[in-house]
Structures are given as structure tokens and as C-alpha cells.
Amino acid sequence: MIKINKLISFIFNFIFSIKINTNILLISSVICSAILSAQTQDSTASYTTRYPFIHSEFAFIQFYNKSAIDQFVKSWEDTKNSKMSIVHLGDSHLQSDYFPGRVRNNLHSIHGNGGRGIMFPYSAAKTYSSFEYKSRHTGEWTYSKSLAVPPKIPLGVSGMTCKTEDSNASFTFSFINDVPSNYSRLKLFCKKDSSSYDLIIVCGDKEIPINIAPIKNDSLSYYEINLPAFKNEIVFKIKKNKESQTEFTFYGISLETSENNGIIYHNCGVGGAKYESIIYEKLFAKQLPALNPNLVIIDFGTNDYLYDDSLKANEEEIITKVIKLVRAAAPNASIILTSTMDMYYKSEHIKSGEAFSDLIKKIAKEQNCGLFDWYWVAGGWDVMPKFQEQKLANPDGVHMSPSGYRLKANLLSLAMSNTTSLLKKNPKMDSLVINIDSLKLVQQILKLTEKVDSTKIESTIKVMHKIKQGENLSVIAKKYHVTVIQLRSWNHLKSNLINAGKYLVVYCNPKYIKKPKNKSK
């Protein structure tokens, strides 16, 4: 086994030396993105130093044909004269705002603040809120979310809907930090119907009455409202003015600046959502154009294969259908697809991450989309335990910690900046596809060693190790010549924390068991 480990180590070093030589162009272009590095807390060099498993040299938006990202690049370069709108669709990795909120702040610091974007009163839908604002409500509300298909109530682009028949109901948004003074434009997405209650918006020291009713020849999916300056709270009160009014259905708001510059970043993430959720959002095609997207990031996948660790036979068909729906609703927007990172579920390693990355890359090529290959940027095969050891991921093996999401956000922001900088220096570049063959070879070796280790259990013995004071998993693993990952898997541990006095199951070669010394008579 020692000889095998030495051989693997040699191969690793050799392969990585090749990778560095074949990526000189890419690394040099990363260096050219100093503007973003200065704006974020982590530079490209610091990623490598602090987190050696991260491949920040892969932080690019890849494309097979430059036309795939033309609108993205054009808008990125012109934010002083025209507002750039980014719509980020996805799941629980988005909803809390740790990830998209950091991207928003990064891009605002570079291009200017064009607005907060889509918001929803999460309390009315009985789900967790953004860390940037809280919501509360009064009265009885029913709701639907895109994680359940088909939804009970029609859904729009935010992926959530709430409805009330209570004429005294209300909901309130409370921001953690003061709202910028130029957030003076509000797009209100609700059901326009003669049976709908009206609204009163309480903002600053003013009350703004809103008459909710269908307007002849009105094709807009929203009401646009000018807001007075307010500090950190905005209230929406239901108001019944006619006997015919019986209910109010709400899809979300977009809080924006009135100036036509900067970037507005819409987070449309819903915990538990899959790709197919977009197909079931009945009002998606009508509401997406209201956000005027120059770029749509389609960022699902976790819930599509996590629970049974397999890609469905119709997965490509579903993803392609979603791309076509987005393109039909926003034909001028660029589309960026993403892969998911390595994951664990109920302490079992999910092994379909690479296959999903390959599928997304295939679809990006065929459907002319951009690609942020998070699977490889994050480190590839079995990197989740490393994220957990660095407190970048949660014990569940699926979600990242706030610091992990901020890291991911910095890398996505960096990818955008890297790509636009590279194209500015090389305007004739017609494709950008990163060669990861060498890293895939390393991954194959890791898979092979995992299989070898798992088959060795049959020829080993089971030991119940009592944890001594001061011992940790690394010490115990070294003692029995096993790995920390194996210890965690055998004992269904969600983290590396263990307690003295408890027992661990260990499968090891009998020669590593110390026999008690014979006592002399």
C-alpha cells in the first residue's frame, strides 16, 4: 500500500506540473483581473494559498462560440450608460442571499448600484428569509413555492406566490442596513383582477394608495410606483374598497434605482427547486421580460440528482426546455449554465457530480450558452470534506456555510471579470474552453483508490475504538492506517467533531491492533 501511495503522489505531482504549463495563458488572464481582486476580500493568489483544493485558475465563463455571451459582455462594458440586469435562477444555494448577495455587492462596487432587485415576503410562505432583509405579515395567507410541482397557485419569476382573502392582511420588509436613497422605483407583481383588493404602501412618512385592477390595453405584468426616500422599512397593507373585491395574490417586488446605469441583480432562488420548476411557473414568460435581463444564470442541479445519486434519462431534455423558455421570454439575454460541486447526502458520497458537469458542458455547447463549471473550480471529486474542514461547508454535506458562499460568489464574480478582461485584450477570441483532462485523470485515480479502500474492508477486522481525551480523527486514522473520510463514513459523522469516552467503528488490518502485553505471574 505504501508503494501505491508513493506512485499516486508521483502521478499527482507530474500531472499538476503539466496542468500548470498548459494553463499559462489562463493564469496570466487571471492576473489581468486585478480590478475585481481589489474589490473583493480574496485575490486569486490568496485562494491558492489558503485553499489549495480550489482551482481559481478555472474561474472563467466558458463558451464554445462568442455569440453565447455577446450580450453579457456588451452590457458589462456599458454600465455607465445603460443599466445591466442579471437574473439568477436557482435553489437553496441562492435563497438565503449569502451567495447572490455577495455577487451583487461585488458587481455594485465595480459597476455601480442599479437596485436591489426581486424580493419576496418569505414569512407569508413560511420559509427562511434573505440575510439582508426580514419579512413579517399579518392575516391569513396561503402560498406556493416552485419546489412543489405542479404548484397550487400560479407562480411567477420569483418562484413563490402568496394569496390572502383577509381584507386586513399586510406584509412588511425590514432591511438590516439602511436602504440607498436612490432606491426610488418599485415594480409590484400581483394579480391584476377586478376581484383583487387594493393596496396602501407605507414608505417613509407617506402612504401611497394603489388601485389593483385590469387596465384596458395594459400588457405590463406589474405596476410601477415611485417611492419617497425611506430608511429601512416598507409596508404593504391590504385595502378593500369595493364589495366585489375578495382576494389579493402577490408574486413579488423589484426594488430599483431610477437612473439608467449600474447593475441590478435579481435573486430568484427557491430552496428545494429543480430545473423543471421553471417549466411549471405559469407566469414566468410574462414576468421575466419585466426584469429586462441582459444575463440569465440558470443554476439548478442539486435537487435533480442528490437523493438517488443518478442523472435522470430525460435530464438533458428538461434542461434544454428550460433554456428555450428563458430564451423565448428574453431573446436578447445571454445565458450562463452552472454545474454543482461535490456533495454528501446522509454521510454517503454523491458520485454524480462529474457526470452532471459533463452534461452541462454538452448542453452549453449545443444550446450556445456560457458555462461556469463550479464542480471543477471548487476542486472536483470528494472535495466536500475539505470544505467542511475549512468551515466553508455545513455538516449536511450539501450546503456551504456563509463564508463558503461568499467564497463561491467571489469566484463567480472573478470569472465574469476574468472573461470580459480576456476578451477585451483578445477581441478576436471566438471560444474559451478550459482543458481539464489532466485533472480528470487525477480524479480517476482518486476513484480507484476509493474502490480499493472499500473492498479492503472484507479482509479486515472491526474494532471499537474508545476515544481518549485529546484524540481527534486525524490521530485515530493515523493509528489504524485509515483515512479521516473512512472514519466519518463508517460512523456516519457529519463533521470532524468527536467526544472523549465515545466509541468509533474502525475497519483495519489486524497487524495494526496492538496486543496487550502478557502479565508475569
What is the per-residue pLDDT for 220?
83
What is the per-residue pLDDT for 331?
97
**For residue 320, pLDDT beyond 60:** yes
What is the per-residue pLDDT for 488?
84
What is the per-residue pLDDT for 494?
76
DSSP 8-state code for residue 189:
E
* Three-state secondary structure call for residue 431: coil
Q: Which domains occur in the chain, in start order? A: 24-112+268-434 (3.40.50.1110), 114-260 (2.60.120.1360), 460-512 (3.10.350.10)
Question: What are the pLDDT digits (tens) for 277-310?
Answer: 999 999 999 999 999 999 999 999 999 999 999 9
**For residue 503, pLDDT beyond 80:** yes
What CA–CA distance (Å, rounded) separates 69 from 67? Answer: 5
What is the per-residue pLDDT for 152?
94
Write down the residue that cell numbers 478576436 correspond to. Answer: 428
- At 150, the amino acid letter reads P
pLDDT band at 48 (very low <50, low <70, confident <90, very high): low
Average model confidence (pLDDT) for the chain? 88
What is the per-residue pLDDT for 237?
98
What is the per-residue pLDDT for 507?
83
Instruction: Supply the DSSP string of 237-295, one letter for each residue.
Output: EEE--STT--BEEEEEEEEE-SSS-SEEEEEEE-TT--THHHHT-TTHHHHGGGG--SE
Longest dimension (CA), the chain: 105
Q: Are strands 295-299 and 206-210 parallel, antiparallel or unpaired?
A: unpaired
- Flag the least confident range among 351-365, 377-391, 433-447, 472-486: 433-447
* Three-state secondary structure call for residue 186: strand
What CA–CA distance (Å, rounded) separates 153 from 146? Answer: 10
What is the per-residue pLDDT for 31?
34
**For residue 43, pLDDT beyond 80:** no
Instruction: Determine the length of the chain.
Output: 521
**For residue 36, pLDDT beyond 50:** no
**For residue 40, pLDDT beyond 60:** no
Q: How far is CA 92 from CA 5, 130, 306, 405, in A?
A: 38, 11, 13, 11
What is the per-residue pLDDT for 388?
94
pLDDT band at 461 (very low <50, low <70, confident <90, very high): confident
Q: Could you give the percent of the chain with pLDDT greater than 70?
A: 86
DSSP 8-state code for residue 393:
B
CB 412 within 8 A of CB 103: yes
**For residue 514, pLDDT beyond 80:** no
511 compared with 357, residue with greater pLDDT: 357
What CA–CA distance (Å, rounded) separates 496 from 390? Answer: 11
CB 320 within 8 A of CB 363: yes
What is the per-residue pLDDT for 517?
56
What is the per-residue pLDDT for 345?
92
What CA–CA distance (Å, rounded) separates 452 from 77? Answer: 51
What is the per-residue pLDDT for 213?
87
Q: Could you give the percent of the chain with pLDDT greater than 90?
A: 73
Residue 136 neighbours by CB distance under 10 Å: 15
Crossing angle for the helix pair 98-111 and 402-425, to the nearest 10 degrees: 40
pLDDT band at 140 (very low <50, low <70, confident <90, very high): very high
pLDDT band at 46 (very low <50, low <70, confident <90, very high): low
CB 334 within 8 A of CB 68: yes
What is the per-residue pLDDT for 453?
52
Q: Are strands 160-164 and 142-145 parallel, antiparallel or unpaired?
A: antiparallel
DSSP 8-state code for residue 520:
P
Where is 174: in which H helix or E strand?
strand 170-175
**For residue 508, pLDDT beyond 90:** no
Question: What order of strands is seen across the sheet that includes strand 133-138?
Answer: 133-138, 170-175, 233-239, 198-203, 206-210
Residues 6+ apart with CB under 8 A from 155: 144, 145, 146, 161, 251, 280, 281, 282, 283, 284
What is the per-residue pLDDT for 20?
36
**For residue 35, pLDDT beyond 50:** no
What is the per-residue pLDDT for 450?
61
491 compared with 138, residue with greater pLDDT: 138
**For residue 34, pLDDT beyond 50:** no
CB 86 within 8 A of CB 265: yes
What is the per-residue pLDDT for 45?
53
Question: What are the pLDDT digits (tens) for 76-135?
Answer: 999 999 999 999 999 999 999 999 999 999 999 999 999 999 999 999 999 999 999 999
Average pLDDT over residues 361-374: 98
Question: What are the pLDDT digits (tens) for 328-338?
Answer: 999 999 999 99
* Three-state secondary structure call for residue 85: strand
**For residue 457, pLDDT beyond 70:** no
What is the per-residue pLDDT for 423?
95
Average pLDDT over residues 266-282: 97
- The number of angstroms, rounded, from the C-alpha of 404 to the middle of its chain's C-alpha atoms is 11
What is the per-residue pLDDT for 22?
33
Q: Of 183, 229, 233, 227, give the one whose Cα is nearest residue 208.
A: 227
DSSP 8-state code for residue 511:
G
Query: At residue 21, what are phi and psi to the nearest 5 degrees?
Result: -65, -35
67 compared with 453, residue with greater pLDDT: 67
CB 236 within 8 A of CB 199: yes
Write down the residue that cell numbers 435579481 correspond to. Answer: 266
Q: What is the pTM of this model?
A: 0.81
